[in-house]
Amino acid sequence: MSYRTRLAVLALLDSILVLSAIFVSYIQMHPSIQINDQKILLISGAVLLVSHHAFAIVYRLYHKAWEYASIGELNAIAKAVTFSVLFTAIVQMVAGYEVYFRALSSTWMLYILLLGGSRFIWRITRDTYMKAKPTQKRALIIGAGSAGVMVARQLKKSTDSELRAIAFIDDDPNKFKLQILGIPVYGSSEKIAEAVEKLKVDNIIIAIPSLSKKELNRIFEECSKTKVKTQIIPMIEDIMLGKVSVNSFRDVQVEDLLGREPVELDMGSISEIVTGKTVMVTGAGGSIGSEICRQICKFNPQKIVLVGHGENSIYLIDMELRKEYGETIEIVPVIGDIQDRTRMFEVMEQHLPYVVYHAAAHKHVPLMEYNPREAVKNNIFGTRNVAEAADTFGVNTFVLISSDKAVNPPNVMGATKRFAEMIVQHLAQRSQTKFVAVRFGNVLGSRGSVIPLFKKQILNGGPVTVTHPDMTRYFMTIPEASRLVIQAGSLARGGEIFVLDMGEPVKILDLAKNLIKLSGYRIEEIGIKYAGIRPGEKMYEELLNENEVHKKQVFPKIHIGKAALPAENTLLDFMRDFERMNENDIRETLIGLANNKVRVLEVV
């Protein structure tokens, strides 16, 4: 109905209820009321009616959506009723009539009951009969806190929700057997499987935003004992910003289970080197490079230069950033190969960036074992080209994205990364530019990582191929890796290697099992096959050489150290003789150089 029609209906209904309350109360309390006293009853009824509508306007009773009525709306009714009755009593006293306090008290109670009851009957009718869908799935909500209650309320009032909350699970014993919004708290998280079976649950929703990764893993393990689909609520920040609604549930991702507690950034120090500055990112179309660009744009640089070899990947990140930041940030896409020294010097001279994030690299371990020459040309010579161009044109800070595979590398990719670190560390000794490197482990979901491969194998029905049951790796999310790179640039003094405290390494076998469960299958349905260790792979990876380890953190969860270097001539000799070497010589010399000449001279 229209607003005016709705207003008229409510005002008429309230008028009937108000007059009913006062007349019923007077007749009930004073059945032998005299003829003379009936006059005061009529006057009191008129005064109460007028005062009701006046206070209804004051407390906006006709502007409230009563289908969502709660304590706030009941409080407004109580105030309007109380002041209306008090005003009526005052008029009676001023007019010199006898004040029937018992009748007015009864009027007040009946008045609240009728007005409040009419509103809540409408809400109950709407929730129970007008919204019920026989096809709705039965949902179990994990967490009876504020987020869980928000989810349950949203599911109740949503007209198009496919889910209906039928029970809560919460580890707070004080909530056991209580009802919240009419929904019972079944028990602790240990009873998830029992609740699913007894209550015939179709969906599980995890609604505890404050859960640590460890606790989320524990709860997911309980959920995975059932065959029911498990989902999680969006981040509270996204809900508050209006990016998603509270009932926009998403599937639990492996990032939720393996990602670590987030590192809080020092916004002030990052702003100093990014805000209002020109920033250049190489490999800007890659998974890490593109996320660095997204994170940087949040700090409002004056200009961001997107350098990449792949036309399509640079086009995609360019279009994405222009859509969100095109009016406030100058975005410059540059197609160029870091192996092209002349091109890198041209780009650096043209844009004169304040900070450079060097993310361009070949990073696939087995592929680089088969193509060591290309690995050297891109990861070593390409790094030298960009780094020396940065030195020549006075870049303030140069951040090299390195890898945990640079520690004691048995493979070409790791050795080229360690060599690249040596190049920037030598430059740091004589340059005004602050050269630093950032090491981190495997990035969840990045191109060439194991997760997309596992997902494809699961989609095809399996089996999932794992190299070795005991192989472990460090993992981090793409946003976390990118934030670390940006934070490292703000901490740079020159020559450091920054390393994120990545917690405990994760077994690849456990990762495969989790992905199978998250995809809605049992492990035996998909199967796991052991393929054997591939060329150049290590069973266990490290983030720092044992001589580089320094327990003190320069920033929460960030370590820093300085590694000794072989003489720069040694590096130059390898690069000079590189073209004359065959691939076996390249591999052996490179790995030997990366492993045998690394020890700590100084730790900062």
Positions marked active-site? 405
Which tokens hold the place of 529? 């096959």
Contacts of 406 (CB under 8 A, 6+ apart): 414, 415, 417, 418, 421, 439, 594
Backbone angles phi, psi at 334, to 5 degrees: -125, 120
Distance CA(491)–CA(510), nearest Å, equals: 35
277-302 as b/e, with b when 16 or more CB fall inside 10 Å? Answer: bbbbbbbbbbbbbbbbbbbbbebebe
Question: Which uninterrupted H or E stretch holds 103?
Answer: helix 101-125
Residues 427, 435 contacting (CB under 8 angstroms): yes
DSSP result, 119-172: HHHHHHHIIIIIS--TTPEEEEEE--SHHHHHHHHHHHH-SS-SEEEEEEE-S-
Distance CA(30)–CA(53), nearest Å, equals: 26
Closest among 47, 36, 35 to 104, alpha carbons compared: 47
**Size (the chain), residues:** 604
Closest among 247, 198, 204, 244 to 222, alpha carbons compared: 204
DSSP result, 471-508: -EE-EEEHHHHHHHHHHHHHH--SS-EEEE---S-EEH
Question: Which uninterrupted H or E stretch holds 385?
Answer: helix 382-392
Question: DSSP 3-state assignment of 579?
Answer: helix
Residues 383, 400 contacting (CB under 8 angstroms): yes
For helices 382-392 and 412-430, angle between their N-to-C axes, nearest 10 degrees: 10
State the DSSP code for 299. Answer: T
Distance CA(153)–CA(150), nearest Å, equals: 5
Residues 205, 151 contacting (CB under 8 angstroms): yes
DSSP result, 410-477: -SHHHHHHHHHHHHHHHHHHH-SSEEEEEE--EEET-TT-HHHHHHHHHHTT-PEEES-TT-EE-EEE
